[in-house]
Structure 1
Amino acid sequence: MRLPCDCSAEKIPNGRRSVCYDHEALESRKEHTPKNSAVGMAAEMGIELLGEEEYRQLQQLEKLDTKTSSWIKTPDDIRESGDAIFGDCRFGRVFVYHNGAESYYAARGFRGWLSV
């Protein structure tokens, strides 16, 4: 069984924001390196990042990330380009975008699934 974790509407916990996408992205930063990556932190917590479809399903239960955004598990072909995807909810719609995987913002964190 997979259960969604962290369904807080906006404020993803402080320790889980301002992170780049994965370890490769973390290693590529030469300056202003974030403390961790979303994929790395999720692994440490024993969870997996939500995929795009899972993120959209979670948004059907409750509108989340209307002022924040969350990294989403990125397909390999997109990640190989150097980018990663993230989602948010604006104007009552779920948007999925791409950004350099090494980027990080104070309002971007991640959401995940816990397998039990």
Structure 2
Amino acid sequence: MTKSNETGIKKDLSPDQREELLGTLKARFEKNVNRHTGMEWAEVQAKLEANSEKLWSLNEMELTGGEPDVVGHDEETDEYIFYDCSTESPKGRRSVCYDREALESRKAHKPENNAMDMAAAMGIELLTEEQYRGLQELGNFDMKTSSWVKTPANIRKLGGALFCDRRYDTVFVYHNGADSYYAARGFRGSLRV
């Protein structure tokens, strides 16, 4: 049975798409063993093959330039954790404001989309600041770009949103109006499988 979301988008991949994506994910997994020490690709692949909707989400992450990879395993839930591991903020997810409320509040020069809605449509979550800092322990990311991160409700209520980047060999967290958007700012996501 093919699954689709409320907009009617088919959340399933063709056999060729599945094979291509699994090949890409396997190659990335094997090339970046430091991100998932002690984990076996066969176990990850078995989880992916058993969950076509999550595989579809990973394909969306890939298509928008996220280069998703395994960064952890939750022993309690037996879920593998994927993050966007592209060197810079994913190209297909830049120039977006933080959320729908921010998008609708802009009077002029509205961006085409917002990070929260895009993530939801892809079936992923924005990284939290803590997750973003964890990602940065695995390599150097966002050296030229920045990424929106999940913003605490008290900050968002006041009109702000948080984003992070890495400069001067340090991870920084900043704030901006949630309605702002820049060509060099996108968002990174996480997915549990």
Specify the TM-score bucket, using the shorter chain as the normaliser: over 0.9
Larger Rg computed on CA atoms: 2
Number of aligned positions between the proteins: 115
**TM-score relative to the length of structure 1:** 0.95
Higher relative contact order (CA 8 A, sep 6+): 1
Please list the CA deviations of residues 78-106 of structure 1 after superposition, one character each: whole Å capped at 9, or x if unmatched.
10110000000001100000000000000
Question: What is the CA distance between 1:10 and its match in structure 2?
Answer: 1.6
Q: Which residue is equivalent to 2:179?
A: 102
Provide structure 2 residue ranges, at least 5 long, that are not aligned to the other structure. 1-78
Q: Which residue is equivalent to 2:168?
A: 91
CA distance in 1, matches of 2:182, 2:111: 10
**TM-score relative to the length of structure 2:** 0.58
* Identical-pair percentage: 65
Provide structure 1 residue ranges, at least 5 long, that are not aligned to the other structure. none
- Counterpart of 1:66, as a letter, is M
Q: Which residue is equivalent to 1:10?
A: 88
Question: What is the CA distance between 1:11 and its match in structure 2?
Answer: 5.0
Please list the CA deviations of residues 61-87 of structure 1 after superposition, one character each: whole Å capped at 9, or x if unmatched.
011001000000000001011000000
> RMSD of the alignment, in Å?
1.0
Query: Is the Cα contact below 8 Å between 2:145 and 2:185 reproduced in 1?
Result: yes
Q: Which residue is equivalent to 1:115?
A: 192
Would you identify which runs of 4 or more consecutive aligned residues in structure 1 move more than 6 Å?
A: none
Higher strand share: 1
Classify the secondary structure of the residue corresponding to 1:71. Answer: strand
- Which aligned pairs between 1:38-77 and structure 2 lie closer than 5 A? 38-77=115-154
